[in-house]
Every structure is written in C-alpha cells, then in structure tokens.
Structure 1
Amino acid sequence: MSLLRSARFPAIILLSAAILALILANSPAGPAVVALKETYLGIPGVFEMSIGHWIQDGLLAVFFFVVAVELQFELTSGELNSARKALQPAIAAAGGVIVPIAVFLLFAGTSDASGGWPIPTATDIAFALGVLAVFGKGLPSGIRIFLLALAILDDIVGIVFIAVLFTDGVNVALLAFAAVAVVAFGILSRMTGGRGHVAVVVLLVVIGIVTWVLVYLSGVHATIAGVALGLAMAQQPALRTRHAMEPWVNAVVLPLFAFSAALVVIPQVSPTELSPAFWGVLVALPVGKIIGITVFGWISLRVGNRGATPHLSFLDLLAAGSLGGIGFTVSLLLSELAFAGRPLIRDEATLGVLAGSAISLILAALLVAQRARSYRRRGAVAAEHDPIHETAEEPRIT
C-alpha cells in the first residue's frame, strides 16, 4: 500500500493506463472495447448509466472527495490557511488559468471548438508531484510547497468550472435535498469519536451515496457531490478516510478514468484537418501554462511581503510552470464535458490533452532535473564551508 501512496508509482500507473487505452482503441480490438465502455449497467428503467459514465460520474466523485479533503486541510491548517501564504501561488495560478485560455481561444476563435476553453486550465497534482519525486531530488521544500498550493488552487478553478459551466436544467428541490444530506454528513462525521463507530461509518457511506444520487439527478455534475462531502466532513475523520482511500484511488479510480477517457481513435487525417480544439489544447497546456505561471509568479514576487513566501528564482518558476502544464486527469474530464454532444471534437481535444501533457511532462523533467542539479551543487559548496548550515537550510524531498 505504501507504494500506491508514493508520488512516483501512481503517476506511472496513470500514464500506462492512458497509453494502453490509446493502443487498444487503435487496434483491431478497438471497436469491441469502445462498445464495452458504452454498455449500460444499473437497474433497468430506474437508474442506468453506461460503464463510461459510471467511471466519469461515479468513481471520479471518489477522487474529487479525496481532493476536497486535501483542499480543506490546506485551507484550514496547511499552506493556504491565510491570505499571506496564498498570495504568491494564487497570483501564479491566476496566470496559469488566464494565459492558457487566451492561447486556446487564439486557435479556436468563434468556431465550434471555442467551448473547450476551460480544458487547458487544470494541473494534475499526482503527475506533477510524481515528476518532482523522480527528477527533483535536492530541490528546496519551498518549490514543492509552491507547486502543491498552485495545483490545489487550479483544482478549485476546475471544480468551479464543472459546477457552473456544465450544469443544465437544475432541479432545485433535489439539489436542496442534497444540501441537507451534506449537512447531515458533516454533523454525523463529528460523532465518529477517536476510532469511529461502525454504525456511524456505515450511515456515513449511505448518506454519501444518497447525496451522490441526488446531485446526479438534480442536473449538477455528480463529481460535485464528492467535493461537497469532502469539504463538509470533520477534518480528522476526513484525513483518516483519505489515507485509507488513497491507494484505491491511485490504483483503481484514476487508472480506470484515464483508460476510459483515452479510448480515442487517432484521426487518419492531415494535421490541417484537425479541429482547432486539438491545436488549442496542445499549445495552451505546455506554452500557456509556462508563460502564465512564470510571468504572473514573477510579478507575485514583487508584491506584498516578500518574506511571507518561499524565495523562488525565475528559473524555479519556469520549472513550476512546466509542471503546471501536465493537465491530464481534470483536463480529460473537462474535455469530456465541454464536447459531450460532439464526439469527434471531444476525441481530438482529448488527444490534445494527452499530447500537451506529454510535452509538458518532458519539459518539466528536463527543467526540474536542471534546477535540482543546481541546488545540489549549491548545497555541496555550502556544505564544504558550513555543513551544519547546509543541513538546516536545504531540506530534501525524497
């Protein structure tokens, strides 16, 4: 289980699942696999969804629950628990949203693809931290903290986009019942005691499922149920739950979603015939993110109290910007939602996410490795003169 909680292994599983899906979708077995994804499961005439939707709307709600628990912790007890701490990553995150949108719209213009502008705004925390773990040995902890805060703020933006932009025909009554269930969930979670009582835990699970069903039926995207429950749950039980669920999310939920989303047939057309959605996402993720995060991050260094946040050089920000371009999970979901009724554009946008994230991953590996070498050399020089100072001032990421 510890392997599945590491930063490296889950990212490898996720990438492998996406590559396998692409290979299968473009093999003779492709039509059968895609047909399986479209197979409906559930109670006939009562509650049915395709396997793809069970993964996207059901299993992914569990992932968003885990994300919301981490978000709740960071906002109350972690690196974002004050405006002073959040200022620098918030400004950088704003750049990492605004500039990719602008880059995407440069390609999409007013075409049918323009509705995909939210796609390149996301950052995949698992992948970004995985690259840091593999290539960032020797980096100061401040860079990891900055990236984590940046990715969490990106997640907030992605959650808002999902909740606001991809909601149609809301049933207010069902949504109100869902809100009551969330409140009940939050109150009940504060009655679990030190180790938790079995009956209370079972009831929490039941309320969680009921909340998900109510949100789904209300017309709001069902993953928002996971977000609401994660934010409402008492912090200590929530952190214990997150710890227990994390290996399953990393080993099952995210790989299944990556596999399902990446079941895309690569179009046999010339590059000029590809949708602007493909080119917009392809360029916006690696280029838009790097420019937005680096420039806005550099601006953030010159506002407010400089001593309030970790010192980051321009090159550090450049590395963080490249990591921010690894959109993957949330970007894939946004692609599915933005072009739900237009499968051809959706598939090409998905290819853009995969290709843009791959380019960002390669750039990030190179830039992070370069920064890590620089800090290791600096640490070695400092150790020659003052080994005690080096140990205190250069915390390591392992």
Structure 2
Amino acid sequence: MKLLRSDRFPAFVLLAAAALGLIVANSPLGAAAFDLQNTYVGIPGLIELSVGHWVKDGLLAIFFFVVAVELQFELTNGELNSPRKALQPAIAAAGGVLVPIGVFLLFAGGSDASAGWPIPTATDIAFALGVLAVFGKGLPSGLRIFLLALAILDDIVGIVLIAVLFTSGVQIGMLAIAVVCLVVFRVLAGFLDTRGRSVVMVLLIALALATWFFVHESGVHATIAGVALGLVMPQSAALRTRHALEPWVNGLVLPLFAFSAALVAIPQVSAGELSPAFWGVLVALPVGKIVGITIAGWISQRVGPKGAAPTLALGDLLAAGALGGIGFTVSLLLSELAFDGAPETRDEATLGVLAGSVIALVLSGILVSWRAWHHRRLAASTATTP
C-alpha cells in the first residue's frame, strides 16, 4: 500500500496499463477485449451499462471524489486558500488552457474534429508529481507548490468543462433527488466520529451510490457526483476517506481506466490520412502547454509590487510547462466524451493524447533533470562560498 501512495510508482503503473491496453487492442486478443468492453452488465430494469461505461462513468467517479477532496483542502487550508496565493498559478493555468486550445484549433478548426478542443486543457497531476519525484532532487519547493496549484486549477477547468459541455437533456426531477441525497450525505458524514461509526459508513456508501445513480440518470455526467460528494464531505472525514481510497484509486481505478481508454486499434493509414484531432492533440499538449504556461507564468510573476523578485526562473517555468503537457487521465476522458458519437475520431484523438503525453513526459524529464542539476550546483556553490 505504501508504494501506491508514493509519487513515483502510481505513474509507472498508469503508463504500463495504457501501454498494455494499446498492445492488447492491436494483438490477436483485441477482438475479445473489445467484445468485453462492449458487454452490458447491471441490474435489468434499473441500470445497465457497458463494461467500458462502468469504468468511465462509475469507477472514475471515485477518482474525481479523491480529486475533489484534495481541491477542498487546497482551497481552504492549502496553496489556493487566498487570492494572493492563487493569482500566479491561476494566470499560468489560464495560459496553459487557452494556448493549447488555440493550437488544437489551428489543426482542427473548421472540421468536425473541432469538438475536441477541450482535450488538451488537462494536466495529469499524478504523472507530473511522479516526474518531479524521479528527476527533481534539489528543485526548490516553490516549483512543486506552483505545479501542484497549477494542476489543481487545471482539474477545476476539466471538471467545469465536463459539467457544462457534456450534459444534455437534464432531468430536473432526478437531479433534485440527487441533491437531496447529497444533503443527507453531508449531514450524516458529520457523525463519523461518533459511536455507531460502522452503521454511518454503510449509510454513507449507500447514499453515495444513490447520488451517483440519480446524477447519472439526470443527464449530468456521472463523475460530477464524485466531485460533489468530495466537496461537501467534512474535511477531516474526507481526508481520512481519501487516504483509505488512494491505494485503490492508484492501483486499480486509474490503471483500469487507462487500459480501457487506450484499448484503441492503431489506424492502418498514412500520416496524412490521420484526423486533425490526432495532430491537434499531439502538438497542443507538449507545445501548447509549454508555451502557454511559460509565457503566462512569466507574466504572472510580474503582477504585483514593482521590484518584486520572480518566484521561479524562466528555466523552472519551462520545466513546469512541460510537466503540464502530460494530459493523460482527464484528457483521455475528455477525448471519450468529445467524440462519443464518432469512434474513429475518438480513437485517433486518444492516440494523440497518448503520444502527446509521452512526448511531454520525455521533455519534462529532460528539463526537470536540467533544472534540478542547476539548483544543486547553485546550492553547492553557495555552501562553499565563505
């Protein structure tokens, strides 16, 4: 369990799961894997979803619950608990969202693939922190804090995009019942530290499942239920729950989603025949993120009193921008949602996410190693100076 709570190991598991999905999809086992992914299971007459949708809509809601708990903490007690702390990463995050969208639309604008513009807006915090843990020995703590705040703000953007863009035909009655379940969940969660804790936990799980079900039936994307549950739960109980769920999310939920999302047959076409969605995502993630975060981050550090020293050097911002280009989990989900009715385009966009994230992963490893070496050398020279 300790390994699955570390910064490094979960990133390797996630990458391995995605690679395995791609390999299986393009092997003799591919047909059987696709059949399993499209098999419908559930409770007849109540809810039946394909295995792929259970992973994407069901299991991933647990991941979004964990994200929401972290978000709640950062907004109240962490790195985003005041406008002063949030300003610089917020400006950098805006650049890291708007520039990749612009880059994507340069390739896909005017075509059916333009619907995929939200895909390159995301940053995968697990991968980013994993790269920092592996290559970032000696980096200033300010870079990690900046990146954490940046990634959390990107998560907020992703959550808002999912809630706004991928909600259709909302059933107000179902949504109202979900809100009632959510309110009762919030009230009951306050009794977790009292006697009868096990009974309360059983009731909370039942209410969480009911909230998810009614959100799903309302037409709002079901992962938003996980976000809502994580935000309303009292913080002490939420942090304990997050700690208990973290190994399962890192070791099971995210790898299963990565495997399922990467279960894509590589198109047997020339590069020129690939969808603009592929090229847009491929370039927007590594290039758009580096350019957007670096420029906006540089500008953000000059907002404030004149003469104030920049928090991060330009090289550090380049490293942060490269880390931001590792879209992966949320980008894969956005790809699935944006092209839900166009499987071929969805598959090519997914390949773009995987390839673009790997390019960003390599670039960030190089840049983070360089900046870590630079800061270690500075620290050594300062230590030897009389």
What is the TM-score with the length of structure 2 in the denominator?
0.98
Identity in percent: 72
TM-superposed deviation, 1:196:
7.5
Instruction: Give the secondary-structure state (helix, strand or coil) at the position aligned to 2:302.
Output: coil
Amino acid of the structure 2 residue aligned with 1:347: D
Is 1:118 aligned to 2:115, yes or no? no
Q: Distance in 2 between matches of 1:9 and 1:309?
A: 36
Contact 2:302 2:310 in 1 (8 A): no
List per-residue Cα deviations over 1:266-302 (Å, max 9, x = no partner): 0010011000000000000000000000000000011
Q: Distance in 2 between matches of 1:30 and 1:150?
A: 37
Contact 1:37 1:260 in 2 (8 A): yes
TM-superposed deviation, 1:67:
0.2
Contact 1:188 1:200 in 2 (8 A): yes
Q: Distance in 1 between matches of 2:26 and 2:216?
A: 32
Is 1:229 aligned to 2:229, yes or no? yes
Q: Distance in 2 between matches of 1:161 and 1:111?
A: 20
Instruction: Give the secondary-structure state (helix, strand or coil) at the position aligned to 2:48.
Output: strand
Distance 1:50 1:187, change over 3 A: same
**Worse overlay, 303-312 or 208-217:** 303-312
Is 1:16 aligned to 2:16, yes or no? yes
Q: How does 1:3-42 map to 2 (within 5 A)?
A: 3-42=3-42
Contact 1:96 1:292 in 2 (8 A): yes
Distance 1:55 1:309, change over 3 A: farther
**Worse overlay, 43-52 or 90-99:** 43-52
Contact 1:85 1:308 in 2 (8 A): no
Partner residue in 1 for 2:365 = 365
Q: Distance in 1 between matches of 2:305 and 2:238?
A: 33
Distance 1:236 1:340, change over 3 A: same
Partner residue in 1 for 2:214 = 214
Instruction: Give the secondary-structure state (helix, strand or coil) at the position aligned to 1:41.
Output: strand
List per-residue Cα deviations over 1:225-273 (Å, max 9, x = no partner): 0000000000000000000000000000000000000000000100110
Aligned pair count reads 386
Q: How does 1:174-189 map to 2 (within 5 A)?
A: 174-189=174-189
Amino acid of the structure 2 residue aligned with 1:122: A
TM-superposed deviation, 1:44:
2.2
Distance 1:89 1:237, change over 3 A: same
Amino acid of the structure 2 residue aligned with 1:135: F
Q: How does 1:150-161 map to 2 (within 5 A)?
A: 150-161=150-161
**Worse overlay, 176-185 or 307-316:** 307-316
Q: Distance in 2 between matches of 1:307 and 1:41?
A: 62
Partner residue in 2 for 1:52 = 52
Q: Distance in 2 between matches of 1:157 and 1:194?
A: 36
TM-superposed deviation, 1:307:
9.6
Q: Distance in 1 between matches of 2:306 and 2:95?
A: 19
Contact 1:188 1:204 in 2 (8 A): yes
Q: How does 1:164-179 map to 2 (within 5 A)?
A: 164-179=164-179
Q: Distance in 1 between matches of 2:299 and 2:195?
A: 46
Instruction: Give the secondary-structure state (helix, strand or coil) at the position aligned to 1:123.
Output: coil
Distance 1:2 1:107, change over 3 A: same
Amino acid of the structure 1 residue aligned with 2:93: A
Partner residue in 2 for 1:324 = 324
Q: How does 1:96-115 map to 2 (within 5 A)?
A: 96-115=96-115
Instruction: Give the secondary-structure state (helix, strand or coil) at the position aligned to 2:41.
Output: strand
Is 1:73 aligned to 2:73, yes or no? yes
Distance 1:196 1:117, change over 3 A: farther
Instruction: Give the secondary-structure state (helix, strand or coil) at the position aligned to 2:42.
Output: strand
**Worse overlay, 296-305 or 351-360:** 296-305
Distance 1:307 1:89, change over 3 A: farther
Unaligned runs of 5+ in 1: 387-398
Contact 1:135 1:368 in 2 (8 A): yes
Partner residue in 2 for 1:148 = 148
Q: Distance in 1 between matches of 2:219 and 2:66?
A: 22
**Worse overlay, 278-287 or 174-183:** 174-183
What is the TM-score with the length of structure 1 in the denominator?
0.95
Contact 1:123 1:324 in 2 (8 A): yes
How large is the Cα RMSD of the aligned pairs?
A: 1.4
Contact 1:88 1:309 in 2 (8 A): no
Partner residue in 1 for 2:300 = 300
Is 1:261 aligned to 2:261, yes or no? yes
Is 1:192 aligned to 2:188, yes or no? no
Q: Distance in 1 between matches of 2:158 and 2:35?
A: 29
Q: Distance in 2 between matches of 1:19 and 1:332?
A: 14
Instruction: Give the secondary-structure state (helix, strand or coil) at the position aligned to 1:267.
Output: coil
TM-superposed deviation, 1:64:
0.1
Amino acid of the structure 2 residue aligned with 1:330: V
List per-residue Cα deviations over 1:140-192 (Å, max 9, x = no partner): 11100000000000000000000000001000111111112112111211121
Amino acid of the structure 1 residue aligned with 2:330: V
Q: Distance in 2 between matches of 1:306 and 1:236?
A: 40
Partner residue in 1 for 2:202 = 202
TM-superposed deviation, 1:384:
1.7
Q: Distance in 2 between matches of 1:242 and 1:253?
A: 14
Q: Distance in 2 between matches of 1:331 and 1:187?
A: 34
Q: Distance in 2 between matches of 1:25 and 1:362?
A: 24
Partner residue in 2 for 1:346 = 346
Unaligned runs of 5+ in 2: none
